[in-house]
Amino acid sequence: MKLKQKPEDFQVSESWRFDEDPRGRHFVYLMDKQKLSTFEAVDRICARFKIPKAAVSYCGLKDKQGRTTQLVALEGRQVELQDPDLRLKPLGRARAPLSAENTTSNRFAVTVRDLSEEDVARLTASIAEVRRLGVVNYFDSQRFGSLKHGQGFIVKDLMRGDFEVALRNVLARPSDLDRSGDAKVKGFWKEHWGEWGKRNPYPGAERYEAVVKWLRAHPKDFRGAVLRTEPRWRGLQVFAYQSWLWNEGVKQYLKDVVGMQHLVAILYQAGSLLFPQELDGAQARLLRDRTFPLLAPATAFADPRVERAALSVLEREDMKLSDLTVPETPEIHFEPEERPLVVFPGRLAVGEAKRDELNRGRLRVNVAFTLPPGAYATLVVKRLFHWTLEPRRGKRGAPAPAAPPPPAPSAPAEPRGFLAKQRAEKAARQARRQAAVKGTRRS
């Protein structure tokens, strides 16, 4: 299965509402973008019309890979923009800025490619499962871009008080996968870390100008520099880690309530996700119309099974709820929130299989459905074709053995990937505990 081979393969239309006010300060537009993230589109609008980012509001974040439409509002400013990949259509004015509450649902039209005849034959039964059981409301790979680019969870650096490490991840760690100018900007600061008087010559360096300007005046105040990043971006770093904790907690809850024998696994950016294939009546009641918490120090639990599952993930991280804070930095904080455990795609329709013009000898199908705000269309599609994304199996269904580790480097290498960082952090924690025990024995 392949997704998003062409921009038009993944189309999203936002259903919205806002209270129109002819004298409102916020000019509302329908933004039509292609191959741009919401952040990138907003950055272009702000740069083109010299608008501060704080004056721009929108309902949510839409995928970069595809063509999407969504609302955006500009405070106190009318503009006209008709670029090939970014267009604005005026809709009216509003008294208040936009927020997630302005989105009612999203309609998706997805072309699924590189399918075999067997894949298409299995689809009917899979559609019936999704209609009957819904789809577990996980956060998908798009939420974890920092893992893909080898940065890990930046908020974990902040929680440890390692503001310089966090800032290096933001400003001076170019991704091996990034072919944009941003990689050159970060490569420059990686080479010239601490030389804040230097001028970064690459286009896009202005994106980090507030951070660098602060460091020129306060070379050792990395906490202050972090606070010069865009507030919505900082919030996204917190939410990324909360999202991973949510995914892992829900997986444990499903293991406890449903049982591993009734679950199927699929691979994604941060590991694997589990989905039920069959449920009895009692199990279905434990999932349908339930929520699971995004963790924060103020999280309260009403269900002991949910509490056990959620806290088991924090235990693996050697944390408690109270550890979900950034020291002396109330500007970056975790907020408790409940998220629906399961979503049911609305108006789910699948078209007739056709020859795939991009993948020789293969088939493609079109899938369309609606989802509430915050749910991931890619997960619906992955659940429909779950067998194409299952972890590789060895003999008799056992997990395939891992490849032998590469020869050890002559000097310790900095861990780049998410799993490598997790292993390094766990080893460091064990070393600290052992050292503490030895110190106690000596005393």
Quote the CA–CA distance of 130 and 384 in Å, as a whole number.
7
Name the DSSP class of 259: -
Query: What per-residue confidence (pLDDT) applies to 151?
Result: 77
Which pLDDT score, from 0 to 100, does residue 429 have? Answer: 63
Average pLDDT over residues 305-327: 97
pLDDT at 423: 60
Mean pLDDT of 31-52: 89
Closest CA to 270 of 360, 385, 138: 138
Confidence of residue 15 (pLDDT cuts 50, 70, 90): confident
Residue 283 · residue 276 · CB < 8 Å: yes
How many Å apart are CA 330 and CA 95, to the nearest integer?
29
- Give the start-to-end residue ranges of the domains of the chain: 1-10+105-134+347-390, 19-97, 160-229
pLDDT for 141-190, tens place per residue?
A: 988 877 766 778 999 999 999 999 999 999 998 877 776 788 899 999 99
CA 145 to chain centre: 6
**Would you state the pLDDT for residue 209?**
93
Give one word for 168, left, alpha or beta, with left for phi > 0 and alpha for psi -120 to 50.
alpha
| pLDDT (0 to 100) of residue 441 | 47
Say yes or no: domain 19-97 is CATH 3.20.20.20.
Answer: no
> CA-to-CA distance for 181 and 188, rounded, in angstroms?
11
The full length of the chain comes to 443
Fold designation for 1-10+105-134+347-390:
Gyrase A; domain 2 (3.30.1360)
pLDDT band at 49 (very low <50, low <70, confident <90, very high): very high
Summarised one tens digit per residue, pLDDT across range 372-421 is: 988 999 999 999 999 999 886 543 344 443 333 333 333 333 444 455 55
pLDDT value at 290 more than 90 = yes
- For residues 66-71, give the mean pLDDT: 82
- What average pLDDT does the segment 307-336 reach? 96
d(CA 419, CA 442): 35
Per 3-state DSSP, the chain is made up of helix, strand and coil in percentages (nearest 5) of 40, 20, 35
Dihedral sign (CA 54, 56, 57, 60)? negative
Q: What percent of the chain has pLDDT over 90?
A: 66
73-120: pLDDT as tens digits: 999 989 999 999 999 999 999 999 998 888 778 899 999 999 999 999
